[in-house]
Amino acid sequence: MMAGVTARAVRARLGDETGLTLIEVLVGAIILVLGAAATFGILATATKNAQRAKASQVVLDLAQEEVERLRGIPYSSLALNTPPATSSEPLNPNSRVSGSQFDLTRGGSADYAPLIPPDENGISPESEFSSGGDSGVTGTVYRYVVWRNDPECPEEQCPGEEDYKQLIVAVRPDAPAGQAASRGYVEVQSEIVDPDTFPEAEPDPEPEPEPEPEPEPDPEEDPLTAQQFFLSDTPCAASGETTREEITGDHLLHNTLGSCADGVQSGATAGAPDALLLSAPPDPDPEDEFNPLLYDYSDDFYLEPTPDTDKGVQIRRDDTSGCHFDPTGSSNPESQTHRWVSDPMAAPFEMTEKATLEFSTRTLNDALHTGTLCLFLFERSDSGSPPDTPLTDKSGATAYWKYTPEGNGFWPRFAWAKIRVTMFFAGAPYTISPGDRLGLAIGVERANTPADAIPIMYDHPNYPTRLEVDTETPIAGG
């Protein structure tokens, strides 16, 4: 009896502290192990994704650099030294080799072009690479050179079907150690024309230095001598004044190959050109540089989705060399020329000397490549046939102007760059008749642009792309 009393007294003194059972300890350990396994799995996946992204950037840069290196080879020497091998593996670019031909498309309908016969002094069809450094990416570089035919080139200038060469560089990284799955490849294609056959593909002469900006005129003392038109993402109104529409998100490319009466259209249906407006795009929040956001004005499946640089409108290069007001492509020609027109002129609009286009651009993926834009000025009559009358350059030789970075340098990348191009036209002063519209069109010249498309950003308060026209008859309210 005393023993029982003593035991109760001891428990009362020490308190009723209950310990963990063995089962509870095991359950806690299992939960801890599972949590750690999940955490390590997430970290492993993140590491693998980071490695894959780094490898993708390495091979993309390598492909661009290899194309630029090969473009420096004399045209007559651009060929392989041995025929490329064939492969049955879908992820190997050699799977597109069929005898003496190469498929220019990675999937879908085949587009075979004849491989240029081997030359023992030519380039190797493939080689191994190792990036070294922290990335440690290894893999294989594949090269192909084929003949292409330009159906638009006159027979006397381009006899036969070997009008120009097309260079294809594919880079395939090796699978990292411990990963059995094969890796795919990236590729870059570039057309290369014979400079003796197409002298216009040579680099443009260095432009004259831009004059110092003049001070803003005092309206009470000096008459206005220029009119600004801002490129918008709003289709032109069929009549009267166009009202700018707010841009609220990405959207499909506006097909601008029709008339203002066609209304907004996308895809293959010809629609209204976008409008040249008299006012700059509004800024809803000047203190916040990210409001409004940058949007993609050509969010179509066949245009490359690149979150950082795939903004504004992506203008694809034409199917044939040269500058074409009407695109020559048989597939999605609406993406090869983008047009803007003003509202109908209420009075004669006299353009006295020149027009200057100021626009913002950069490369897709911030890739390294050259590029040339084709710029067109025209007068549009809503009832005329044909509706458009092009302006010609001051020499009267062409109905377009071209912009190529100085010395045929690389197109801007890593940030949106502001470019100014001055266009002097023949027959000045040129008058746009009352009821007619002033028009601007932009295309991409194929011969000097190895990239598929060039982005142009506009209708954004940070990037107010505009056309400035010298005139002594400015539009009221402009």
Same domain for 311 and 391?
A: yes
Q: Is the previous residue joined to 292 through a cis bond, with omega within 30 degrees of 0?
A: yes
User: Quick one: DSSP state of residue 391?
Assistant: -
Q: Check whether 378 has a pLDDT greater than 80.
A: yes
Lowest mean pLDDT among 151-160, 374-383, 456-465: 151-160
pLDDT in tens, 138-167: 889 999 999 988 776 777 767 888 888 889
pLDDT digits (tens, 9 = 90+) for 260-281: 999 999 999 999 999 999 999 9
Q: In whole angstroms, what is the distance from residue 455 CA to residue 476 CA?
A: 32
Instruction: Quick: pLDDT tens for 37-68.
Output: 766 665 555 455 445 556 667 777 788 788 88
Q: Residue 1: CA atoms inside 13 Å, Cβ hemisphere, count?
A: 0
% of the chain beyond a pLDDT of 90: 51
Q: How, if at all, do strands 373-380 and 401-403 pair?
A: antiparallel
What is the pLDDT, as a whole number, of residue 279? 92
To 5 degrees, how large is the angle CA 147–CA 149–CA 155?
A: 130
What mean pLDDT is reported for the chain? Answer: 84
Does pLDDT of 351 surpass 80?
yes
Contact call for residues 267 and 255 (beta carbons, < 8 A): yes
Contact 235, 274 (CB under 8 A): yes
Q: What is the DSSP letter of 259?
A: -
Task: Work out the burial of residue 266: count CB atoms within 10 Å of its CB; fewer than 13 is exposed, 13-18 middle, 19 or more buried.
Answer: middle
CATH of residue 359: 2.60.120.260
Q: Which tokens hold the place of 98?
A: 């069929």
The whole-number pLDDT of residue 43 equals 58
User: Domain ends where: 142, 177, 197?
Assistant: 197
Answer whether residue 360 shows pLDDT above 50: yes
316 or 60, greater pLDDT: 316
- List CB contacts of 211: < 8 A, sequence separation 6 or more: none
Cα 265 from Cα 281, distance rounded (Å): 22
Number of Cα atoms under 13 Å in the Cβ half of residue 314:
26
Q: Are residues 380 and 439 in the same domain?
A: yes
pTM for the full predicted model: 0.60
pLDDT, residue 286, reads 82
Q: 151 and 276: one domain?
A: no
pLDDT tens digits, one per residue of 67-79: 888 888 888 889 9
Are residues 353 and 282 part of one domain?
Answer: yes
Please tell me whether residues 137 and 267 are part of one structural domain: no
**Residue 151's domain spans which residues?**
52-197
Whether the CA torsion 38, 41, 42, 43 is positive or negative: it is: positive
Residue 452's closest CA among 344, 281, 343, 300?
Answer: 300
Give yes or no: residues 371 and 234 share one domain. Answer: yes
- Model pLDDT, residue 222: 45
- End-to-end Cα distance, the chain: 109
Q: Look at residue 338 and tell me if it is in a domain.
A: yes
How many degrees, rounded to 5, is the angle at CA 414 between CA 408 and CA 417? 60
Is 376 in the same domain as 234?
Answer: yes
Q: Is 24 helix (H, G, I), strand (E, B) or coil?
A: helix
Residue 30 falls inside a structural domain? no
Q: Which of 177, 197, 217 is the last residue of a domain?
A: 197
Phi-psi region of 328 (alpha: psi -120 to 50; beta: other; left: phi over 0): alpha
Domain count, the chain: 2
Asked if 164 and 118 sit in the same domain, the reply is yes
* pLDDT, position 115: 95
Both 314 and 193 in a single domain?
Answer: no
CB 142 within 8 A of CB 79: no
Looking at the structure, do residues 181 and 231 belong to the same domain, yes or no? no
pLDDT of 176 reads 72
What's the pLDDT score for residue 396?
87
Q: Residue 86's pLDDT band (boundaries 50, 70, 90)? A: very high
Q: Do both 192 and 263 map to the same domain?
A: no
